[in-house]
């Protein structure tokens, strides 16, 4: 690939990656990581899949022994949309170089303005001053993202252009900053009210967040949860990395909200004892990506490390294999990506893209045919080692699938690594002569 053509591809990718909104989205979604990881642990304890164990514990602590665990889940994983709205507005302002706290507060307030101020149960009359908590979690997360980005950008524009209430220098900065936020606050709240009215008229009594859920989020969740979505996620992580762009970071920024929404829907099915593909469970969730598509790192380069350790003849790749082995255990493969190198290496493009795509097919089919249950349990950090992560998110079946993926990686990468190693070995011989 020529240098000119490469630059033509990289330029729009980097422009997209460096957009303020995309950076705010990635940083904002990172803020909910402790909620989703730790909150899911409490959910697993509160929804043990072993009826005999449940009954035994209930016999000691009472039938409502799971209630405290579900309370923790309710205050963590179940409010990820609410928290992401604040954190995205905060991150947008922070990355723009202005005081970030008011932006997060204004985004959160807009979120509540755009919700219904009453709750209508399935049976009975509306309850005033009550809000359906379902919109705080995965079901309202796309609306929350849009509100956070909009509030953060509007606030930033007003502050940057100095359209603010200026206080005398004698006023403490902490107070002056709050007065600066009043004009953008008025504009944001006014626009939120207008959007609320328009959405209510357009939907016959619904809200903006409900409309976004029906029109945008449901189709996107279906797309990301499909086989095509799984293949697309796997492909673009490696494709972007091959150009030197952090593919996992970019793709995570785009799909994390949707994958967590898929997971949240699966957790609801688990609570109702209906967790199966036939009951509408999503196959592609955050665990699908973190625990199966980046084993040993983006591109699943386990096969590269194994080939270097046991089959390399060149001193270069023998040494690199030893250096790369330990980080690969924790899914860190920058030594391989940049040291082999894989970035911009035409020899390695095909296996680097093909291996994760094949992994996506393997995992997707394993769940579709019933070998593995859809993910609804613990969410692990992406750096959790293989086999351990597979067992924790999907039992022994998950560990088996990870072993299959690692074996496939070794099989696919081996001839390409050997080809590259022979070139390096011959060059070393020439240099010695």
**Three-state secondary structure call for residue 401:** helix
Kindly state the average pLDDT of the residues 383-403: 91
Q: Which of 157, 188, 211 is the last residue of a domain?
A: 211
Query: pTM of the full predicted structure?
Result: 0.73
Within a domain: 5: no
Kindly state the average pLDDT of the residues 144-168: 91
Q: Is 158 exposed, middle or buried (0-12, 13-18, 19+ CB in 10 A)?
A: buried
Same domain flag for 269 and 129: no
Whole-number pLDDT of residue 8: 66
Within a domain: 253: yes
Sign of CA dihedral 250, 254, 258, 260: positive
Same domain flag for 232 and 356: yes
Whole-number pLDDT of residue 246: 75
Write out the H or E segment, with its range, that includes residue 119: strand 118-119
Tens digits of per-residue pLDDT, 190-203? Answer: 999 999 999 999 98
Higher pLDDT, 205 or 319: 319
Same domain flag for 238 and 367: yes
pLDDT over threshold 90, residue 118: no
Whole-number pLDDT of residue 248: 80
Same domain flag for 91 and 127: yes
- Other beta carbons less than 10 A from residue 62's beta carbon: 10
Q: Which region among 46-55, 243-252, 309-318 has the lowest average model confidence (pLDDT)? A: 46-55
Within a domain: 129: yes
Residue span of the structural domain in which 398 resides = 222-430
Q: Which of 191, 211, 231 is the last residue of a domain?
A: 211
At 128, the pLDDT band (50, 70, 90 cuts) reads low
Give me the number of domains the chain comprises.
2
Whole-number pLDDT of residue 2: 45
Tens digits of per-residue pLDDT, 51-64? Answer: 677 778 877 777 78
Same domain flag for 143 and 276: no
Within a domain: 3: no
Within a domain: 217: no
Within a domain: 251: yes
**Three-state secondary structure call for residue 114:** coil
Same domain flag for 172 and 254: no
Whole-number pLDDT of residue 159: 92
Same domain flag for 296 and 392: yes
Within a domain: 161: yes
Same domain flag for 326 and 414: yes
Same domain flag for 183 and 37: yes
* 373 DSSP 8-state letter: P
Same domain flag for 193 and 226: no
Tens digits of per-residue pLDDT, 29-46? Answer: 888 878 877 877 787 777
- Other beta carbons less than 10 A from residue 282's beta carbon: 26
Within a domain: 192: yes
Q: Which of 144, 178, 211 is the last residue of a domain?
A: 211
Higher pLDDT, 362 or 431: 362
Same domain flag for 16 and 112: yes
Same domain flag for 206 and 258: no
């Amino acid at each position: 690939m020529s240098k000119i053509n490469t630059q033509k591809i990289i330029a729009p990718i980097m422009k997209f990656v460096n957009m303020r909104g995309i950076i705010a989205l990635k940083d904002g979604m990172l803020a909910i990581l402790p909620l989703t990881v730790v909150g899911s642990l409490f959910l697993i304890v509160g929804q043990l899949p072993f009826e005999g164990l449940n009954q035994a514990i209930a016999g000691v602590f009472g039938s409502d022994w799971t209630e405290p665990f579900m309370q923790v889940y309710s205050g963590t994983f179940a409010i990820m949309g609410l928290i992401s709205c604040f954190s995205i507005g905060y991150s947008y302002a922070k990355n723009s170089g202005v005081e970030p706290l008011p932006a997060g507060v204004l985004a959160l307030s807009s979120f509540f303005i755009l919700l219904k101020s009453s709750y209508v149960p399935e049976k009975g009359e509306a309850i005033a001053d009550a809000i359906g908590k379902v919109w705080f979690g995965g079901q309202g997360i796309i609306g929350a993202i849009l509100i956070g980005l909009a509030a953060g950008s509007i606030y930033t524009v007003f502050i940057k252009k100095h359209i603010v209430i200026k206080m005398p220098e004698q006023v403490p900065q902490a107070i002056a900053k709050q007065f600066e936020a009043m004009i953008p606050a008025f504009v944001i709240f006014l626009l939120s009210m207008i959007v609320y009215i328009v959405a209510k008229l357009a939907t016959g009594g619904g809200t903006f967040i409900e409309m976004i859920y029906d029109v945008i989020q449901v189709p996107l969740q279906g797309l990301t949860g499909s086989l095509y979505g799984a293949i697309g996620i796997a492909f673009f992580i490696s494709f972007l990395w091959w150009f030197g762009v952090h593919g996992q970071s970019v793709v995570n920024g785009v799909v994390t909200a949707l994958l967590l929404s898929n997971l949240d829907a699966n957790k609801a099915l688990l609570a109702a004892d209906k967790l199966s593909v036939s009951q509408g469970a999503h196959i592609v969730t955050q665990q699908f990506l973190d625990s199966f598509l980046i084993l040993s790192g983006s591109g699943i380069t386990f096969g590269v490390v194994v080939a270097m350790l046991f089959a390399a003849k060149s001193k270069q790749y023998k040494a690199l294999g030893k250096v790369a082995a330990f980080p690969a255990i924790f899914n860190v493969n920058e030594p391989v990506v940049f040291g082999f190198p894989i970035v911009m290496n035409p020899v390695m493009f095909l296996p680097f893209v093909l291996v994760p795509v094949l992994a996506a097919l393997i995992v997707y089919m394993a769940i579709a045919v019933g070998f593995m249950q859809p993910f609804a349990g613990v969410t692990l950090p992406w750096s959790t080692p293989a086999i351990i992560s597979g067992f924790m998110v999907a039992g022994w079946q998950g560990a088996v699938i990870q072993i299959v993926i690692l074996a496939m990686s070794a099989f696919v990468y081996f001839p390409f690594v050997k080809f590259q190693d022979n070139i390096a070995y011959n060059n070393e011989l020439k240099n010695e002569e």
